[in-house]
Amino acid sequence: MIFEHDWRDLAFLHWRLPPDAVAPLMPAGTRPDTFDGDTFVALVPFELRGANFFGSPAFPYFGDFLETNVRLYSVDDHGRHGVVFASLETSRLAIALAARTTVGLPYTWSRQTSAVSGSRRTWTTRRRWPDRGLRSEISIEVGPVITEPDDLAVFLTARWGLHTERFGRTVWMPNVHEPWELHRAQVTRLRDQLVRAAGVPIAGAPDVPTMFSSGVHTVFGEPVAL
């Protein structure tokens, strides 16, 4: 185990894409993962809590922060499925710097807020570094539990690792967590600059049903070089 933490109060907003549109963003040795011929980009705001490394106690302050990521869906030549992060916003500058240098993840430093009002969840982001000024605002209404997620919902959320470039080599980092409890959700407001800024050519509103989860506890293991 390398590190573990909780992912809490997540929204999953998705757009369909032709695989060729994002193939250039994939690390060497990986390609876009597809479902019925399409691949996807996701915009995912959430809160990360209780982060610790190598079984240490959770870090105060640095172990709890808001995050918003733009993620793609990947598979490598060994058949390992995962995600590729096109960008990750964090409200902790130290986390952004450490993740860029040690894990190779494209974290950025942003001012972020979240709010809960009944069934409504709202997240805002304004990037500080780099590309200062990029913004995102997302509001959803959380609906009923999805008692039997369909195959697409499973494909989009049951991703048991990530692919990234680390010290010049592509690695796959596995993770494990309990099954998601997913809810239906309705986007009520979306003003986002992060997805297009990451190089992903979307147009219009999300074209996949939006989902919400109260979260899971996840553990990441040792990275494996491709």
What is the pLDDT, as a whole number, of residue 1? 61
Q: For residues 55 and 136, which has the higher predicted lDDT (pLDDT)? A: 136
Rounded Cα–Cα distance for residues 185 and 93 (Å): 31
What is the pLDDT, as a whole number, of residue 57? 57
Dihedrals phi, psi of 104, to nearest 5 degrees: 80, 20
Average pLDDT, the chain: 93
Rounded Cα–Cα distance for residues 32 and 74 (Å): 5
What is the pLDDT, as a whole number, of residue 142? 98
Q: How many CA atoms lie within 13 A of 197 on its CB side?
A: 20
Asked if 172 and 163 touch (Cβ cutoff 8 Å), the reply is yes
Q: Locate the domains of the chain by residue range.
A: 3-225
pLDDT, tens digit, for every residue of 120-152?
Answer: 999 999 999 999 999 999 999 999 999 999 999
pLDDT band at 177 (very low <50, low <70, confident <90, very high): very high
What is the pLDDT, as a whole number, of residue 90? 94
pLDDT average, residue stretch 8-21 = 98
pTM given for the model: 0.94
Query: What are the helix (H) ranges across 116-180?
Result: 151-157
Cβ contacts of 76 within 8 Å, gap of 6 or more: 29, 30, 31, 82, 163, 170, 172, 226
- Name the amino acid, one letter, at 183: H
pLDDT band at 59 (very low <50, low <70, confident <90, very high): low
Q: What CATH topology corresponds to 3-225?
A: Acetoacetate decarboxylase-like (2.40.400)
